[in-house]
Amino acid sequence: MGCTEERSKGKRAQKEKASMEQEVGRGGDHYRATIRRCNVALVCIVLIIVVLIWMITGLSMRAGMIPYFDLGYSWFDQTIFVFFGL
């Protein structure tokens, strides 16, 4: 049981290593596509976080928790939707 498992794991590891080397040899298209997808997702998450911080800041200004400073809230209220009411 132990010897055959170790051999199969060793063979499996060798096959995975060989396939990775082939992938890198071909230019790693799959790797590049994965990295590109991760970069796009990261940019989207960062943009969402920035917008949420902007909204929380505007609502905090409306509640009087922090001093008022217009960061485009009046334009947003006039143009898109009355959300901040500043």
What are the Cα distances from residue 6, in Å, to 19, 45, 67? 20, 42, 66
User: Mind listing the pLDDT tens digit of every residue in the chain (86 residues)?
Assistant: 555 555 556 677 777 766 666 655 555 677 777 777 788 889 999 999 999 999 999 999 999 999 988 888 888 889 988 888 86
Distance CA 74, CA 31 (A): 45
Report the predicted TM-score, pTM, of the whole model to 2 decimal places: 0.58
In a domain? residue 86: no
- Please report whether residue 22 resides in a domain: yes
> Considering its fold, how many domains does the chain have in total?
1
In a domain, 84, yes or no: no
Q: CB count, 10 Å around CB of 73?
A: 21
- Structural domain boundaries enclosing 19: 2-79
In a domain, 73, yes or no: yes
Three-state DSSP at 56 gives helix
